[in-house]
Amino acid sequence: MSKKISQWVAEAKVDPVGAYRRRKVHCDRLASGGHGGRRAGKSHMRDFLKGCQAAGIDMTGIRAASEEGQSPKIKRYVAFVAPQRSASSAATWPSDPKDLRTGMLRFVSELFPNMPTGSEPIASAAHSGRRGRSRAMRRAEMAPYAGAMIFHQITASDARKLSKSKMIALVPDRKIKASFRSTEGKFAEPRKKQEFVAASTATVGVIDSGIDGQHPEFNDVSVEYRVFARNEPTKTSVNKKDFGSHGTHICSLIAGNTCGYAPGSKLLVAAALTLDQGSAGYLADIVEAFDWIAEQSPLVINMSLQFDAIYEDLRPSIKLYTFQSGVVVAACGNKETSRLPGAPGAYPETLSVGAQYWDGENWEGTATGTVIFADVSVQKPDVWSYGVDVYGAVPGARYESRTGTSMASAIYAAMLANGKTPLTTAQIRPSQPLASV
């Protein structure tokens, strides 16, 4: 018996309950430090219990009482799954997104047949993203991902089992800050660029802070609304709520009765930024929100937001959607929050939009520059649109004039829906088979 174990046993003779608890904390801390730490933690606890038994100290009841009523820590994870490949190196995933989800679920269940029934994997429409600068996925190269899955309930031990597979990159769910700080405009009169306005019957997806469904701007506007938040019991909500004010302004620029540039469009609104007054959300919620909208195949998805870092965790989902001929329009970012364009507008697969003045001159507050990824470098923004002193709706039956690339992104998405842009969606994202990715 080592000197350290002997000291622990001596402590147990005086205070067996306290000694066990201290040793448990110590060994659990060791076990969280990787494979070697797990081995050391188990070894130390085993030697301690053997030493107590040899000294005549019965730790069985103390151990059972200490662990009674405790359950393993349950967390959410986003798992990025690499494609299975045949001898010809062709991906075996089917091209249909619904079959892709089924294939991912079957793949994980075959790889890990003993996964607990409490785990609830929900496949997300995702494809082909390389390991980039995300903190949890920074250190090693990985094959292109074929999909992303959300595990809503999984223990740390089961997460370690998944992580052992070279086919899976497991990322713990985390809070992501969205820096879409738009400034209040100088002019508050209800004006808009009439040459950009046209009626539309297209469907436009919006991932933002929500929408004020009671605002008169949206009377008779078709709005399908869901909340994606960790603490929300249900996703579908009759009460269409904006967790901030940004989402209402953006939706009004797309399909509003008086402010909209594509009136008549149907809106699919995913409230995924539900924290910090509508300026932050969880990674899993944003991935799941994108998946819900993408399943309904809108003409365009607008994301008038900028993450506070170049997170590549959402890029696989966007990549599959765009290669299925979908278009994702995103704000390029404002210089007051970041000098360089941020995700998702910085992704090569998104159409990032910079802001312009009323006279067509580029707004100097737009974040511009070259963004370097592991597989490609891109110059952003891709296009420019009106985004200075833009009049739109805000919660409480009010209207405000705002400035930022968020407004420019919403207006460009509306112009894609009403056909007023120089490029059609087919020209921006020509259809490509999944096997060519």
Contacts 24+ apart (CB under 8 A), 356-365: 356/384, 356/385, 356/386, 356/387, 356/388, 356/408, 357/386, 357/388, 358/193, 358/386, 358/388, 358/389, 363/387, 363/388, 363/403, 364/335, 365/334, 365/335, 365/336, 365/403, 365/404
Work out whether the CA dihedral 362, 364, 367, 371 comes out positive or negative: positive
d(CA 351, CA 423): 12
Vertex 319: Cα angle to 84 and 231 (nearest 5):
95
Contacts 24+ apart (CB under 8 A), 97-103: 97/125, 97/294, 97/295, 97/320, 97/324, 98/295, 100/125, 100/127, 100/146, 100/147, 100/320, 101/125, 101/147
Which residue's structure tokens are 């062709």?
90
Which residue's structure tokens are 């009841």?
61
CB atoms within 10 A of CB 103: 20
- State how beta strands 183-184 and 280-282 pair: unpaired
Q: What per-residue confidence (pLDDT) applies to 197?
A: 92
Helix residue ranges per DSSP H, 152-282: 156-163, 246-255
Tokens of 142: 């990985």
Task: Reduce the DSSP state of residue 163 to 3 states and report it.
Answer: helix
Work out whether the CA dihedral 93, 96, 98, 99 comes out positive or negative: negative
Helix residue ranges per DSSP H, 206-263: 246-255
CA separation, residue 53 to residues 6, 46, 48, 49, 334 (Å): 12, 11, 9, 6, 65
Tokens of 341: 């364009």
Tokens of 174: 């985390």
The answer for 158, left when phi > 0, alpha when psi is -120 to 50, beta otherwise, is: alpha
Q: In the 8-state DSSP scheme, what is residue 91?
A: B
d(CA 70, CA 233): 24
Count Cα neighbours of 433 within 13 Å in the Cβ-side half-sphere.
6
Tokens of 271: 């409230």
Q: What per-residue confidence (pLDDT) applies to 3?
A: 82
d(CA 261, CA 69): 57
CB proximity list for 179: less than 8 A, separation 6 or greater: 279, 305, 306, 307, 308, 333, 334, 337, 338, 342
Is the pTM for the entire model greater than 0.85?
no
Q: What per-residue confidence (pLDDT) applies to 185?
A: 52
E strand segments, 178-249:
183-184, 203-208, 223-227
Please name the amino acid found at residue 235: K
Do 318 and 328 touch, CB atoms closer than 8 A? yes
Which residue's structure tokens are 């302004």?
249
d(CA 276, CA 30): 35
Please name the amino acid found at residue 291: D
Q: In the 8-state DSSP scheme, what is residue 244?
A: S
**Block means of pLDDT (10 residues each) for the chain, length 437 residues?**
84 81 76 64 85 84 61 65 46 51 62 52 39 30 51 71 70 76 58 86 95 95 91 66 94 95 96 89 86 89 84 76 82 78 88 91 90 83 91 92 92 93 64 34
Do 271 and 207 touch, CB atoms closer than 8 A? no
Helix 16-31 vs helix 35-54: crossing angle, to nearest 10: 160
Do 179 and 308 touch, CB atoms closer than 8 A? yes
Tokens of 393: 């709706």
Tokens of 274: 């539900």
